[in-house]
Amino acid sequence: MEIKEKVYGLLSDTEIENILEEGRSKSVEFCEAALENGRLGKGLTLVELAALAYCESPEIVTGLLDTAHELKKRIYGERMVFFAPLYISSFCSNNCTYCGFRHANETMTRRSLSPEEIHQEVMALLEQGHKRLLLVAGEDPRTTGIDYLEQSVAAVYSVTAPDGATIRRANVNCAPLSVDHFRRLKATGIGTYQCFQETYHRPTYKEVHPSGPKSHYDWRITAPDRAMEADIDDIGTGVLFGLYDWHFDVVGLLGHARYLETKFDVGPHTISVPRLEPAEGAPLSDHSPWMVSDEDFRKIVALLRVAVPYTGMILSTRESPELRDQLFALGISQTSAGSRVTPGGYTDSGKLTREDLLAQFSLQDQRPLREMVHTFVRGDYIPSFCTACYRSGRTGDRFMQLAKSGKIHDICQPNALASLKEYLLDYADEETKAQGEKLIQKELSELPERLRNVTEKMLARVAAGERDVYL
Ligand code: SAM
Ligand code: SF4
């Protein structure tokens, strides 16, 4: 990958403070104009973001939520991509004060899955209908280094269910690596590499990461740069909301996205919005002075949707079903379902264990995938199991160009419907099947003729028994 001359640097704390101060001083008229620009899908400047974050005018707040909803519908339609997290190791040499996996937490029983155990987990997830996984690991140079990651991704891709189903895309959320090790990770065939900065505020970062390799802010914030240099051009970023003032962190996050766009011509492929949840043995997790209310969290999701309209947004099952349903409408494009956050959690008992509920953090939405799909098709959301872009080479700037021109819709919609049809035929109960078919017909009838013909042919191939049909 060619690395462009740097134009923006990464923002310093003082620069973020200055942007916040400028944003705070802006008028309601300025916020109205910012929303007007946002509605055009052009994103927001850092000052516009700061101004909207602080603005408490009920009209502006409502306008922001409406704009986010509008953009979500225009760019992503009603599609919602499903994935499942696969926790492969809970060993960790860091001491993040908010996470149950932290080294000093002696109440936790540690476990690293072997290739055979990963095989079993993947088989359980394939049986549910999942096609896309996110591998998650603690950071422990002795047990979860690059050799282990390579072996684990290989184990995931090696599994074939009796009906021929396989995992089609494995993304990874692990500690930052060197360029050489990122190259090795890329060679395993991963999709996105995810790494959350947690907070952009350096003093807080230092305080909540007191020891271990993660205590080095600069090593972490430059992880996307090294991954890009290693040609992993789908990068996932995020903030752990609740560690510090969310106004500061949304500006830091947008600054980071703009920096990557300037340097590599492509910003983050996804942004995740985890919010601090109670975790056993993690003192900060339920005592942070910066906890984010549901109201502010809705605003955060809407702000990010308007600020970076073409970046996918990911929501985990940490949030309650009610709030999740609201956040989907405001801009979320990918979500997990039926998650387990302990290694072995999908096969150990099939049920949520006490560890799952308390270990790394709490899971609020425990609806299994089949229930989520059922709810979605009844509510006119299109559950998508599509993994096509990455396998068709539409990553990085190629993906962004298509997204920004609006052409991606012509690819995503047929792919989503074909993947839904596959799910309905292979995994759904009769009621979901009937409702899902109704939804597919409704969506087909709304497509322009050329696209409808293409999609009908794809659906016919799936109905005839072909699998993994995509554009
Ligand atoms: N160890 C790697 C790391 O820290 O980057 C990857 C795995 S870590 C389990 C994945 C993410 O979990 C972290 O980046 C953090 O944002 C999130 N997390 C940790 N503790 C949490 C908590 N108590 N509530 C919500 N999210 C949490
Ligand atoms: Fe380890 Fe990641 Fe948890 Fe920190 S957040 S303790 S690095 S697993």
Count of Cβ atoms closer than 10 Å to residue 111 Cβ? 17
437 and 361 both lie in a single domain: no
Kindly report, residue by residue over 180-203, the tens digit of the pLDDT: 999 999 999 999 999 999 999 999
Sign (positive/negative) of CA torsion 57, 63, 64, 65?
A: positive
Q: How confident is the model at residue 99 (pLDDT cuts 50, 70, 90)?
A: very high
Q: How confident is the model at residue 356 (pLDDT cuts 50, 70, 90)?
A: low
Q: Is 277 in the pocket of ligand 1 (CB under 6 A)?
A: yes
34 and 154 both lie in a single domain: no
Q: Is 243 in the pocket of ligand 1 (CB under 6 A)?
A: no
Pick the ligand that lies closest to the CA of residue 104.
Answer: 2
Q: How confident is the model at residue 394 (pLDDT cuts 50, 70, 90)?
A: confident
CATH number of the domain residue 379 falls in: 3.20.20.70
* pTM more than 0.85: yes
Query: Is 267 inside any structural domain?
Result: yes
Query: Is 468 inside any structural domain?
Result: no
Q: What is the dihedral of CA 371, 130, 143, 116, to 10 degrees?
A: 110
Residue nearest to atom 8 of ligand 2 (CA): 138
Average pLDDT over residues 259-274: 94
Query: Is 399 inside any structural domain?
Result: no
341 and 252 both lie in a single domain: yes
- Give residue 386's pLDDT: 94
Protein residues with CB under 6 Å of any ligand 2 atom = 92, 94, 96, 99, 101-102, 138-139, 214
Pick the ligand that lies closest to the CA of residue 137.
Answer: 1
- Give residue 54's pLDDT: 98
163 and 289 both lie in a single domain: yes
The alpha carbon of 97 and the centre of ligand 2 are apart by a number of angstroms equal to: 9
Q: Which residue has the higher pLDDT, 1 or 256?
A: 256
The alpha carbon of 455 and the centre of ligand 1 are apart by a number of angstroms equal to: 39
- Give residue 6's pLDDT: 46
Q: How many domains does the chain have?
A: 3
Find the range with the poorest average confidence among 92-96, 141-145, 239-243, 350-354. Answer: 350-354
- Give residue 390's pLDDT: 80
Count of Cβ atoms closer than 10 Å to residue 183 Cβ? 17
87 and 69 both lie in a single domain: no
The alpha carbon of 205 and the centre of ligand 1 are apart by a number of angstroms equal to: 13
Kindly report, residue by residue over 211-265, the tens digit of the pLDDT: 999 999 999 999 999 999 999 999 999 999 999 999 999 999 999 999 999 999 9
Asked whether the predicted pLDDT for residue 321 surpasses 60, the reply is yes
Average pLDDT over residues 292-303: 97
Q: How confident is the model at residue 7 (pLDDT cuts 50, 70, 90)?
A: very low
Query: Is 321 inside any structural domain?
Result: yes
Asked whether the predicted pLDDT for residue 434 surpasses 80, the reply is yes
Residue nearest to atom 13 of ligand 1 (CA): 196
Pick the ligand that lies closest to the CA of residue 282.
Answer: 1
Please give the mean pLDDT across all residues of the chain: 92
82 and 64 both lie in a single domain: no
Q: How confident is the model at residue 117 (pLDDT cuts 50, 70, 90)?
A: very high
- Give residue 317's pLDDT: 82
Range of the domain at 409: 404-463
